[in-house]
Amino acid sequence: MKLRIKKIKSSEQHDTCRFLTICICNKKPWVRYRNNRQPPSRHAGYSPAGMARTKCCGPPSLLTAGNACRTRPDRHARTEVPPPATPHHASCKKRSITGCSRQQGQHDCNMRIVGKRRNIHVFLACLLVTGAVFLFFTVFLESPSALPEDPLATTPAWTRDALIPLHPAALPEANDKTRLGERLFFDKRLSGNNTIACASCHDPERGGTDRLAVSSGVDNRQGSINSPTVFNASLHFAQFWDGRADTLEAQAVGPIHNPVEMASGWPEIIDRLSADPAYRSAFAGLYPEGISATAILDAIASYERTLLTPNSRFDRFLDGDERILTPLELTGYRRFLDYGCASCHQGVALGGNMYQRFGVMQDYFAGRPVSPSDLGRYNVTGKEEDRHVFKVPSLRNIAVTAPYFHDASAGTLEEAVAVMGSYQLGRELGSEDIRSLSAFLRTMTGEWRGKRLQ
């Protein structure tokens, strides 16, 4: 059994693993480093059976390939190897990189690097580099959909399983109730002065929003919070930024009675709709009680449940179309997983299924006036731990729903990514990270009625 020892140059990205020697024995890496700094737990090195577990600052995929951490070598580093099948005496030469540490833990290995083979090793390395350059220009530049390393190869199973595609087959079929709900959704007679409809703030032609920082209600009154998209709202576990409504029906009540938004009430709405023969006929055919508040809310919610946007490019990727994403988008996906974005943005809606504090790593609200809308779920529960806690928004169609956050403070997707990096992840993202993550997020734009959202 022969054993080779490699030492690989340092990497700025992995500065926690400085003095490293990699020992490849029986095609399995065994790693030891001198300094006491503990690298992140997600970068776990391979530990052969029967030996204590070690850590290494590099993805497992690098270790299994024999590349291990890219770190600065140290002449005092020690090498450990797993037990061989049978005792084997170590044969060491002065040319060995580490000088050989014999009988470590009563186990020996041959640790020789033969000088005569150096030239052929250099030749093979040059040949490999030439081939890699040729592959890059012929594959990646000519075929933008060619895949780099599989982003899921070293991703924990729970992360992969948390990302769920939305299929066209999941769409509810249109029927008389959903058609009635659609008509009500666009009807301005539900507002006090007949000027505002549900669609005024949640326009399906504008990504399910109005694309304003805050919405304008009756008499041009200004709201206090950014309107979330109505698309895929039925996939959320609660409605509104603060989650105060647990159903679509409960959500629809709020704007109707809000004095800033629609400033209306049920008696006047029912009177107006009852004066319309088409409404009287439609309600009579669906609801025994005819036109009522309950029936109106049920019809609107039934329509909103049809507002799903499947078949995004990311959905198709999750379904197995591995060539649909570009290398840049795949890099963004890798960052999305590695940086922990999927911890909150998960499920079929890629969000909308949990609450989270805005400003996990830094105080987002420091040094600025705090409005009631900034308090988030605290307005619902009155609990101090819910201050600045909001429902995690869905990432579906995020590219067409600017501006971002409850306060509309980010005007572009790139700005939003940078803010999330700083305040939620504790990372100051570089320009390349922001570029790749933004490109990946743009793959989440789905289709409505057979057309890609614009």
What mean pLDDT is predicted for residues 245-265?
97
What mean pLDDT is predicted for residues 177-201?
98
Between 271 and 82, name the one with better pLDDT: 271
pLDDT single digits (tens) 338-392: 999 999 999 999 999 999 999 999 999 999 999 999 999 999 999 999 999 999 9
Closest by CA position to 348, among listed 402, 395, 391? 395
Residue with structure tokens 């709709």? 273
What is the per-residue pLDDT for 279? 98
Q: Taking all residues of the chain, what is their mean pLDDT, rounded to a whole number?
A: 77
> Which of 104-113, 160-169, 329-338, 427-436 is predicted least confidently?
104-113
pLDDT single digits (tens) 119-171: 555 555 555 655 654 554 444 433 434 444 565 555 555 555 678 898 887 67
Contact 26, 84 (CB under 8 A): yes
What is the per-residue pLDDT for 162? 74
Number of H helices, E strands in the chain: 14, 8
pLDDT > 80? residue 44: no
What is the per-residue pLDDT for 163? 85
Structure-block tokens of residue 214: 């805050």
What is the per-residue pLDDT for 26? 36
pLDDT > 90? residue 228: yes
pLDDT > 50? residue 426: yes
Amino acid 96 reads S
Instruction: Compute how many other C-beta atoms are within 10 angstroms of the C-beta atom of residue 28.
Output: 16
Residue with structure tokens 């951490």? 69
Q: Within its chain, how far is the Cα of 90 from the centroid?
A: 50
Which CATH number, 1.20.1300.10, 1.10.760.10, 1.10.357.10, 1.25.50.10, labels domain 313-452? Answer: 1.10.760.10
User: What is the Cα–Cα distance from 100 to 349, expressed in whole angstroms?
Assistant: 55
The band of 59, judged by pLDDT with boundaries at 50, 70 and 90, is: very low
pLDDT > 70? residue 229: yes
Domain residue ranges of the chain, discontinuous segments joined by +: 172-306, 313-452
- What positions carry a catalytic annotation? 261
Q: Is 297 exposed, middle or buried (0-12, 13-18, 19+ CB in 10 A)?
A: buried
What is the per-residue pLDDT for 173? 83
User: What is the Cα–Cα distance from 63 to 58, expressed in whole angstroms?
Assistant: 7
Same fold, 172-306 and 313-452: yes
Tell me the range of 107-111, 154-158, 228-232, 318-322 where mean pLDDT is highest: 228-232
User: What is the Cα–Cα distance from 56 to 40, expressed in whole angstroms?
Assistant: 8
- The CATH number given to 172-306 is 1.10.760.10
Query: Measured between alpha carbons, how far is residue 34 from residues 49, 54, 366 in Å?
Result: 22, 12, 41
What mean pLDDT is predicted for residues 208-215?
97
pLDDT > 80? residue 112: no
What is the per-residue pLDDT for 51? 31
pLDDT single digits (tens) 192-207: 999 999 999 999 999 9
User: What is the Cα–Cα distance from 62 to 129, expressed in whole angstroms?
Assistant: 18
Closest by CA position to 83, among listed 45, 109, 101, 65? 109
For residue 202, the number of C-alpha atoms closer than 13 Å in the C-beta half-sphere is: 23
What is the per-residue pLDDT for 172? 82
Structure-block tokens of residue 368: 């600025």
